Structure 1
């Protein structure tokens, strides 16, 4: 017992998968949690990218799951599940129990120091309860800033968004986009269950083309990362959190944009486009379409996620920084 919590430790991929239905129900209650904390994202990560041993601390009250701290042990280092491919990470606690849950998790880690030498907890939002919880004796922490996370506040209407866009010179020409759309040769579609596999293939191909034109491999190189995204996309689509867009011009794939959607926030995760059509600003056009589609769906924030790339600043976004919390034995 840790306060009002009963603590359960789950290890192994089989145990993580068995916990998934309860985890999914808890995630539904946590309206501020991001898609990167969903089992539909993290369980595929464990299966395809998690080079280590899953170690999950489950917090229960009267037997019901009230919180979960999903970790991966890599040798003697403990990290969050999803590290590397996820832009926001944290423990998941039933609303109202965040501070108590964070303290219980840290206490449990302190009691299990034989498992780890260092905990490297990346991509915590500034408001994470882990950052402000007290530390038991024998544990010290270091907190460091990470790269910027940029986001754009969306207006209630597409007309207001269009007015904002007109003064954004680097965001492309509204007239050019209108000409493309009137031509009848430009189409933008959103993946559904029947066509998901084809959309994913287009996304992988366009991402690889765009980065190959720069002499770089991109971040989707290798069968493991592709298998992860394929499995995660199926689960995320089934829960309504995936928005995978494909833009075609004259029957050929032009651009793809992989977005995650939850609550009032849409996350522009990864994209790709055909560099042979770069003069038509495909990346800008498909991002504008995603923003407009999100406004129609009630979103109020377009999150560009990690990284300070120039095209993001062209939209005049606001900026926050995630934090990295490192726990070590004192």
Structure 2
């Protein structure tokens, strides 16, 4: 196996055919590691950062890609830290399911080769800051194997819990799996909405509709959350440009799912999601608070689930954020976690000191990778929060 380090944008672009071929080999190659998401993220957020993409080849054939970048981060106000981070993480975006894109036949070998190459052959970094790795991924296992004999300190960071559900083959079976109160509530929401003049559930299907729909989604999200959170999405030029581009790119491949609720031709709620393999991913949404009495968020979620079942999806994934409203629809949970690798020196010592003196040690204290259980972040069990 040969490992190549890609550091230029032209060489990044040259990977597209191999990248697209890999991403279709297994559903575990997530949407957030797909070519469209990764390349667009770099276009909008790459300024001031340096590419460090690892490419694994066997006999000239690409069998794995680990997309990383190097940035200089100011820590403790005075020190500069050279961080190695995954493409897709950083700026005002909140990724899910990062790591590497790979040929499943060679997953273990590629993972361990990447880990060894990062630890011994990638120069310049002081802190490797990986996020949103699947808890059962081969990458995590390989870092665990190396933790005992590596000169670097390898730590496991707090877990993110993600709510999802396996979908039955038809909507009625899904409904029957809900509690009686939830079934009655959804039926009431739908009946109330559908009796109104011009009530309509619609999917954006034409590329010519995307820009107008995107603007509407951004406006509804702002309207819904302005004054209720300081972490609004759809605010920065980078975020707006990135997601507009993502929508167009995914629509071209039949992967965009953009739904709306309309009353007499006016959009009152929108849901932004994706279809990737046999999974529907719910990413973002918004609604006009003037119509909060219709419960548009829950109503649109129910329509989206019904649509996903009708398409033959086997899983509905609500992505990061263990919020109470998601539990109205699904009960299954999966986990992603972060890894931090510190090279020996002052920076490592200061990070550990900061964790020890923090007033919120349960949230910030790194946990050794060798421990069976990691610390967990405490979610808000009720609030319906936005995601960035």
TM-score range normalised by the length of the shorter chain = over 0.9
Deviations 1:199-236 (Å, cap 9, x if unpaired)? 11111111111111525451221111000001111111
The residue aligned with 2:63 is 66
The residue aligned with 1:127 is 136
Count of residues paired in the alignment: 326
- Partner SS state of residue 208, structure 2: helix
The residue aligned with 1:146 is 159
Aligned residue among 114, 128, 141 for 2:123: 114
Asked if the contact 1:168/1:315 (under 8 Å) is kept, the reply is no
- Partner SS state of residue 29, structure 1: coil
Higher strand residue share: 1
1:211/1:110 Cα in 2 relative to 1: closer, same or farther (>3 Å)?
A: same
1:1-330 matched pairs, under 5 angstroms: 5-51=1-47, 52-75=49-72, 76-83=82-89, 84-133=93-142, 134-135=145-146, 137-165=150-178, 167-169=180-182, 172-192=185-205, 193-212=207-226, 214=228, 216=230, 218-330=232-344
Higher mean Cα deviation, 222-231 or 15-24?
15-24
Higher mean Cα deviation, 303-312 or 106-115?
106-115
Question: Runs of 5+ in structure 2 lacking a partner?
Answer: 73-81, 345-388
How far apart are 1:49 and its partner, in Å?
2.0
Structure 1 runs of 4+ with >3 Å offset? 168-173
Asked if the contact 2:29/2:102 (under 8 Å) is kept, the reply is no
Asked if the contact 1:248/1:254 (under 8 Å) is kept, the reply is yes
Question: Runs of 5+ in structure 1 lacking a partner?
Answer: none
Q: Under a length normalisation based on structure 1, what TM-score does the superposition of the two structures give?
A: 0.93
How far apart are 1:171 and its partner, in Å?
8.7
Asked if the contact 1:13/1:46 (under 8 Å) is kept, the reply is no
Deviations 1:158-206 (Å, cap 9, x if unpaired)? 1112223462539944133124224452112222222111111111111
- Partner SS state of residue 220, structure 1: coil
User: 1:125 & 1:137 partners in 2: Cα distance?
Assistant: 22
Q: Under a length normalisation based on structure 2, what TM-score does the superposition of the two structures give?
A: 0.79
The residue aligned with 2:352 is none
